[in-house]
Structure 1
Amino acid sequence: MSRRAVATGLAFLVAIGATPVFAHFQEIIPSAEVLPEGGSVTLDMVFTHPFEGGPVMDMKRPVAVGVLAGGKRTDLTPSIVAKPIGEATAWTLTRTIDEPGAAIFYVEPQPYFEPAENKLIVHYAKVLVDGYASGEGWDALVGLPVEIRPLTRPTGLWTGNLFSGVVLRNGEPVPFAEIEVEFVNDGSVAAPNDAFVTQVLKADAAGVFSYAMPRAGWWGFAALTEGDAPGRAPDGKEVPVEEGALIWVKATDMPVSR
């Protein structure tokens, strides 16, 4: 796009009082990513803009919430509880981890219609909680329609570590998939401008991507694909469907001993 076209577009946004459209991310964030002695973990499911700290979009009751552990998927949908955030609804879940190994929690939300982009958004999101710090089972696949398979163990990562994964659709790699990356900002990071809010990269021909996390905290990786079939907007018209594969990863600062 030419600079003139960009300038014209920005002028139009200013004229109509619009704000830039930031990336949507389906969060599924646990209270801890490693449980060295097992125990309970609470997971919050929020549909929001992580770096901007909002706004939080109203999230209808998910289609499915579950966990993959020991090679077995367990439906946890009946256990989720609504969690109001302002005027929007989010969801929460508490689960006890009593065996060593990876517990991969996932959520399939109901489609969300975004009028600013005239499309439906469905983000299949997952996060790994390591029971008893076993370091086992971390690359298992849930079997979601679109999914990121980690090539780096997504737990026990230091700040600055390189996280790598492969984007899969129906179990097959997605060449040159676009991945959006955002940091769950607690307000301590101020972006110099909007270009810094969402990091964007592309996978290679084998669907593989890598990203070095520069700050401690939770990072979301969203591989965005277009659905095979259109969906219907609230007015009944056909619109495209964005199907996202999300994985959440935490980076931790390395303590210094003196």
Structure 2
Amino acid sequence: MRRPSALATFASLTLSALLLTNGPASAHFLQIIPSEDVLPEGGTVLVDMLFTHPFEGGPIMTMERPERLGMLKNGEIIDLLPDIAKNPSGGGEGWTVSRELAEPGASVFFVDPAPYWEPAEGKFIKHYAKVVVDNYASGEGWDAMVGLPVEIRPLTRPTGLWTGNLFSGVVMKGEAPVPFAEIEVEFINDGSIQAPNEAFITQVIMADANGTFSYAMPHAGWWGFAALVTGEASMTAPDGKAVPVEEGGLIWVRAQDSASAQQ
């Protein structure tokens, strides 16, 4: 068999490198997912945290110990950082925490992670993520804001949603909405949904001039909404250079399929 020439081999490797470099980048999402979003009878909720690509199911990155982890309940922030435990998963490392919820009303679980260095993009990533758990299905307190540097204010109650429901929110940075903010949307895929091509993996929408956005969830399961902004301050990369910081305000919402609920 005739061997390919050195020039042909070089060209092939160069083309492969270009495809890898110029191909669509997978979106990073900090997942903060409770065992249930509604506890009709109260009880204990387990909250898992992973830094990964939700639709593709990986890779799972190693998530350093968060800088803050808490629960907002009735206007009070409860520190959960002393209670967390490591949760190795898929070659990476996440975290988990459990909490007994005794009183009715919504609890907003949130995480302020350590910055993650992404060499492929030449930047640090710091996503402030939250999720709402409604105890005793009260329907109260779901719009409470934690006060994170970048945060999504829900305009739709983020619990008790059907597939096809329209979820709406406002992207906030500090006290002000972010006009025309970009929001990436991904679904935690169990492998049952096949994307026709990479354009379908991460949905991208833009907020309006008032920072408001909406999205109809077509499948049952957990959906993440990540509002992305560039941080005002840079950070120092491992090579000593100043690099930008991608800040994200994330909220996770669960949609329930009405057809399965009838069975």
Taking structure 2 as the reference length, the TM-score comes to 0.91
Deviation at 1:15, TM superposition (A): 3.7
Indicate the residue corresponding to 2:142 in structure 1: 138
- Counterpart in the other structure of 2:47: 43
Partner residue of 1:173? Answer: 177
- Alpha carbon RMSD of aligned pairs, Å? 1.5
Query: Matched residues in 2 for 1:80 and 1:96: separation?
Result: 14
Question: Is 1:14 matched with 2:22?
Answer: no
Change (3 A) 1:15 1:231: closer
Between the aligned residues of both structures, percent identity stands at 65
Counterpart residue number, 1:5:
none
Of residues 92, 97, 116, the one that matches 1:93 is: 97
Superposed counterparts of 1:119-198, under 5 Å: 119-198=123-202
Of 13-22 and 192-201, deviating more is 13-22
**Partners of 1:236 and 1:141 in 2: how far apart?**
36
Partner of 1:113: 117
Equivalence for 2:10: none
Corresponding residue for 1:52? 56
For 1:37 and 1:233, locate their aligned partners in 2 and report how far apart those are by CA, in whole Å: 48
Return the alpha-carbon distance in structure 2 between the equivalents of residues 174 and 70 of structure 1: 26
Q: Please give the TM-score of this superposition, normalised by the length of structure 1.
A: 0.93
* Residue segments in structure 1 that go unaligned for 5+ positions in a row: 1-10
Question: Given the superposition, is the C-alpha separation of residues 134 and 119 from structure 1 closer, same or farther in structure 2, using an over 3 Å criterion?
Answer: same
SS at match of 2:142: coil
**What is the one-letter code of the residue matched to 1:207?**
G
Alignment of 1:176-255 (within 5 A): 176-255=180-259
After TM superposition, give the deviation of residue 20 of structure 1 in Å: 3.8
Contact 1:146-1:169 at 8 Å conserved across structures? yes
Q: Which segments of 5 or more consecutive residues in structure 2 lack a partner in the other structure?
A: 1-12
Q: Which amino acid aligns with 2:191?
A: G
**What is the number of residues matched between the two proteins?**
248
Q: What is the deviation of 1:152?
A: 0.1
Question: Which residue number corresponds to residue 5 of structure 2?
Answer: none
Q: Does the aligned pair in 2 maintain the 1:219–1:249 contact within 8 Å?
A: yes
Structure 1 moving runs of 4+ over 2 Å: 11-20, 255-258
Q: Which has the larger radius of gyration?
A: 2
Whole-angstrom distance in 1 between the partners of 2:85 and 2:262: 42
